[in-house]
Amino acid sequence: MSGVDGMRRKTVLVTGSNRGFGRAIALRLARDGYDVVVHCRRDVARAEAVAEEARALGARALVEAADLEDPAAIDRLFDRVAAEYGRLDAFVANAAATAFLPTLAMKPHHIDRTFGLNVRGFVLSVQRAVALMPEEGGGRIVAISGYGSIRYLPGYAAMGAAKAALERWVSYLAVELAPRGIAVNGINPGCADTASAEVYFTRAGSEPQAEVARRTPMGRLTRAEDVAGVAAFLLSDDAAFICGQTIVVDGGLTLVVPPFADAGTLEDAAWGRRPRRAEAALASSEAP
Ligand SMILES: NC(=O)c1ccc[n+]([C@@H]2O[C@H](COP(=O)([O-])OP(=O)(O)OC[C@H]3O[C@@H](n4cnc5c(N)ncnc54)[C@H](OP(=O)(O)O)[C@@H]3O)[C@@H](O)[C@H]2O)c1
């Protein structure tokens, strides 16, 4: 069947694509002409439903469950992809999980498991994915990071550190794989209303989604489609020369310092003038 480039359909594996961002990425790529591998850890029913949606868009869709903490399971996943598709044009590393704990409460296995899935699982998957990518070049790898890699989130220390490591490994891989014609990049999404953010939404304030939207310069939460659109771009020919970058897709959320975000334009304080409120306070304190 013809696809993305009007010739052979390309193939992509999106980890954690039974829901959330991964689902949106897999379906966007199916719509764009890719055959997809819908991956999950254990919720195969959801993965099958996504695969059905992809098939309805004209794609071939394979469902495979694999715990990416387990190197043997990663091998089985890629063995199946090799057997079914024979090659892989793109790999999107999206699956993630952690134990939400403050650092002082962490046991060694919390740290090992978080890095085992989010860093080692990524690297071992890339090793297998690259071996299936076209020798003539054009392969693509995209890793999904998160705003916790650059900003504090309660209980997120292990994951934030793992995501930061992921971003650095993206830049190293990008240089190592560039001579093979493979482009490696990352996406750092902002806060979205998917399952992995529930842990915060169920604990923070009365209307946490509205509060995040209010504090986001572009006025809303990140949508799965925002991330899927940038992933599709990074896999496209238009992005062929982008090498080792992690693109922030958060509507400006991580650009602002929260206490000052509501301070308005401060035009009255331009060029060293004191803000009027401060002038007034000073005048009253100086009054005899
Ligand atoms: N949601 C946000 O606000 C946000 C913001 C920034 C970045 N992100 C990042 O975006 C990505 C997707 O987030 P999301 O909220 O869409 O995810 P999600 O809904 O929490 O889904 C997580 C996915 O990862 C899979 N998974 C979990 N543990 C796994 C393991 N050990 N082995 C293999 N697969 C495993 C799950 O499979 P099962 O369903 O089978 O368990 C599921 O498909 C993650 O990398 C996340 O860190 C999210």
Ligand 1, closest atom to CA 117?
Answer: 31
Model pTM score = 0.93
Q: What domains are defined for the chain?
A: 10-259 (3.40.50.720)
Residue 285 pLDDT = 57
- pLDDT of res. 249: 98
Mean pLDDT, the chain, whole residue set? 92
Ligand 1 centroid to 226 CA: how many Å? 16
pLDDT in tens, 53-99: 999 999 999 999 999 999 999 999 999 999 999 999 999 999 999 99
Q: How far apart are CA 224 and CA 244, in angstroms?
A: 22
> Using alpha carbons only, what angle is made at residue 284 by residues 278 and 288, rounded to the nearest 5 degrees?
145
pLDDT band at 288 (very low <50, low <70, confident <90, very high): very low
Cα separation, 141 vs 177, whole angstroms: 10
Residue 228 Cα to ligand 1 midpoint, Å, equals 14
Does ligand 1 lie within 6 Å of residue 4's CB atom? no
Q: What average pLDDT score do residues 219-230 get? A: 98
Whether 171 lines ligand 1, by a CB cut-off of 6 Å, is: no
Give the pLDDT of residue 2: 46
